[in-house]
Amino acid sequence: MILDQRSMESIKVVALQNAVEHNGKAKAESVTGKVAASNPEFRSNLKNILPTIRETVMEINALSLAEQRLLLERLRESIVTHTVDPIESLHRSSSPVLPELLNASYGSVITRFPPEPNGYPHIGHAKAAIIDEYYARTYGGKLILRFDDTNPLNEKPEYYESFILALEWLNVKPDIVKNTSDDIEILYKYGKKLVLDGFGYVCTCNQKKIHELRSAGVECGCRMDTQRSGDLVNEFFRGKFDQNEAIIRYKGSMSDSNTAMRDPTLFRIIKGNHPRLGNKYNVWPTYDFAAPIEDSLDGVTHAFRTKEYELRNAVYFAILERLELRKPIMMEFSRLEFRGLPVSKRKIKPLIESGIVKSWDDPRLPTLAAMKRRGFVPQAIRKFVLSLGMTLAETKPPFESLEAFNRKLIEPVSIRVFFVKDPVEVIILGASPREIILRNHPSLDLGSRKIQVCYSVYISQADAIGLSPGNEMRLIELYNIRIDDIKKEREKLTIVGSYSGDEIKPDVAKIQWVAKDDARAFEILIPKELYLGENYNVDSLEIWKGVCESYADGLKPDSKVQFVRMGFCRIDHSGLAIYTHR
């Protein structure tokens, strides 16, 4: 039987994993069982596949344990990169391999990405989603996208949609999409059980008192009175209480040195219009309660989250223990942050609400919508995120390293064109009109364009002010000019020069230009760091006004260009580009 490449790879991965787990010797029977378990489509065909499995096992057993490990890593990596664009595979060499999972066998891993739909996703979410997906694919398992939508005051349909679109863009494909709110009745059931079993209680203390007792490590009267909680719990879930009148708390330990265990809140009353369920429910679980139960019931085997939740792990496992539910393995990675950028919905939202930043795709933001608009490609984000690995270190990676991945990917598709900021006219004497053909890329075939140059071109003011009569300059790809005169009329500069030959001279400044007859008004948005230290950077969005070639202005939105002597940009719409990076 001839198997396709994917099936062959999945057999190899299972065999290698089996070998690595058994001191270098895989067993054909175990491998067959595992292959059948994880590939239902093989089950009716096992007899035909058996010879291939035996052969693969023999080949693999002939390798050393170290070689097997290496091969397993490579193969996993290549399986993951299959899901991305061919450009990605061109640059695969720097893709690292994340560490192996504990207690994971091929075909049985389930991971989940659990965002709250209370804003747009940012590059930190890309990190989490890509790592979740990496493990699901590497182990032939499943990825769940679960919207943790349990606070109706914060969530909106637009935000759910923004995550769906961003994941599509990143080429992260969840196998299952669900919402925590789908399970609200189930969560109620477990909440009641916890209270009735004596592991939780209805607390009617006011917020101030709760806060004070928690700081002091002292229990309140509600906690002691098990009978009262048993009586109140049904009323609580039926909506008897008003906002802030009562909560359900976990009976942890009020003297625990881990303050997360000092009777954390499990349910609270929130009166608001939920984007999916409307006004039907007023009792909402907290993240502390919903996350472990959802993970457990969804079959999640390996749950990843950022390190700042570390102290909450005790709550997570205590709840599952009390409810006798299966416990996933929890793994942490560091939160992704950049200097001068708010990589958090909580920090971005106020900027938008206060009007400091106009929209979620403002190019200064680290949201994925903004990064896309700015000209980052999803493969660069994937490579960057995987290059960070699973470290727990709280260091901020330099934004330049993300730019480096992006540059490598967009360089081969970016058209080289001329943009001139604050144009100054140069009138050229002694040259006959010329038609020149400019290549769109110096070494790759991205086409070319024709330009007519008569007697006048624009150069940028920054270049013009460095010139004096007698100087020579070269108009890139055209010819040399000697400056005869520089006129200034009411702050407006005009340069008069004469044609001085075609020869490229090493010590003559080479300047980009735009022919007057071909010039189109054009602007470039330049995003800079939003914060300087703790303060908002009032100059974080610069606008460069000038002219560019008609060819560049005719490019479709989303085209990538490299403005010569300036940097890479993405065409946003006619007349406007956004600066990506140098």
Which residues here bind Mg ion, judged by CB under 5 A?
A: 116
* CA 283/CA 245 separation, integer angstroms: 12
Give the span between the Cα atoms of 317 and 361, in whole angstroms.
38
* Residue 341 DSSP code: B
Q: Which residues in the 103-132 window bind ligand ATP by CB under 6 A?
A: 114-116, 124-125, 127-128
Indicate the residue among 154 and 512 with the shorter CB distance to Mg ion: 154
Binding-site partner at residue 141 among ligand ATP, Mg ion, none, CB < 5 to 8 Å by type:
none
* Cβ burial, residue 398 (10 Å; 0-12/13-18/19+): exposed
Residue whose Cβ sits closest to ligand ATP:
124
Kindly tell me the burial class for residue 185, based on how many C-beta atoms sit within 10 Å of its own C-beta (0-12, 13-18, 19 or more): exposed
User: How far is 467 from 475, CA to CA, in rounded Å?
Assistant: 13
Q: Does 335 bind ligand ATP (CB under 6 A)?
A: yes
Beta carbon of residue 336, minimum distance to ligand ATP (angstroms, whole number): 4
From ligand ATP, Mg ion, none, which one binds at residue 336 (CB under 5 to 8 Å depending on kind)? Answer: ligand ATP
3-state SS of the chain: helix, strand, coil percent to 5?
40, 25, 35
Are 428 and 498 in contact, with CB atoms under 8 Å apart?
A: yes
Output 304 or 563, the one with its CB closest to ligand ATP. Answer: 304
| Partner in contact with 407, chosen from Mg ion, ligand ATP, none, beta carbon below 5 to 8 Å by kind | none
Q: What tokens were used for 279?
A: 């006004």
Q: Determine if 306 is a binding residue for ligand ATP (CB under 6 A).
A: yes
* Binding partner of 345, given Mg ion, ligand ATP, none, CB within 5-8 angstroms per partner class: ligand ATP
Three-class SS state of 424 = strand
* Binding of residue 459 to ligand ATP (CB under 6 A): no
Dig out the tokens for 211 from the structure.
Answer: 């806060």
Structure tokens belonging to residue 408 = 């490598």
Return the number of the residue (77 or 116) whose C-beta is nearest Mg ion.
116
Q: Which stretch binds ligand ATP (CB under 6 A): 77-85, 149-157, 340-348, 444-452?
A: 340-348
Minimum CB separation of residue 258 from ligand ATP in Å reads 19
- List strand residue ranges (DSSP E) for 88-137, in order: 110-113
Query: From the list 11, 36, 336, 511, which residue makes contact with ligand ATP (rule: CB under 6 A)?
Result: 336
Query: What minimum distance in Å lies between the beta carbon of 79 and ligand ATP?
Result: 23
Least distance in Å: CB of 304 to ligand ATP? 7
Q: Least CB distance from residue 346 to ligand ATP, whole Å?
A: 4
CB of 158 to Mg ion, least distance (A): 17
Q: Compute the least distance from the CB of residue 78 to ligand ATP, in Å.
A: 25
C-beta closer to ligand ATP: residue 162 or 580: 162
Using CB under 6 A as the binding rule, whether residue 345 contacts ligand ATP is answered as: yes
Q: How far is the CB of 303 from ligand ATP (least distance, A)?
A: 9
The answer to whether the beta carbons of residues 493 and 423 sit under 8 Å apart is no
Closest CA to 476 of 562, 570, 378: 562
Cα separation of 483 and 511, whole Å? Answer: 13
Among 92, 346, 434, 582, binds ligand ATP (CB under 6 A): 346
User: What is the rounded distance in angstroms from the CA atom of residue 139 to the CA atom of residue 88?
Assistant: 21
HEC sequence for 514-528: EEHHHEEEEEEEEEC
Contact yes or no for 273/231 (Cβ under 8 A): no
> Whats the size of the chain, residue-wise?
582
Point out which residues pair with 453 in neighbouring strands. Answer: 434
294 part of the interface to ligand ATP, by CB under 6 A: no
Q: In this complex, which beta carbon is closest to ligand ATP, that of residue 142 or of residue 305?
A: 305
- According to CB under 6 A, which one of 60, 167, 343, 578 is a site residue for ligand ATP? 343
Task: With beta carbons less than 8 A apart as the criterion, state whether 229 and 193 touch.
Answer: no
Shortest distance, position 287 Cβ to ligand ATP, whole Å: 7
Smaller CB distance to ligand ATP: residue 34 or 127?
Answer: 127
Q: Does 313 bind ligand ATP (CB under 6 A)?
A: no
Binding site residues, ligand ATP, CB under 6 A: 114-116, 124-125, 127-128, 305-306, 335-336, 343-346
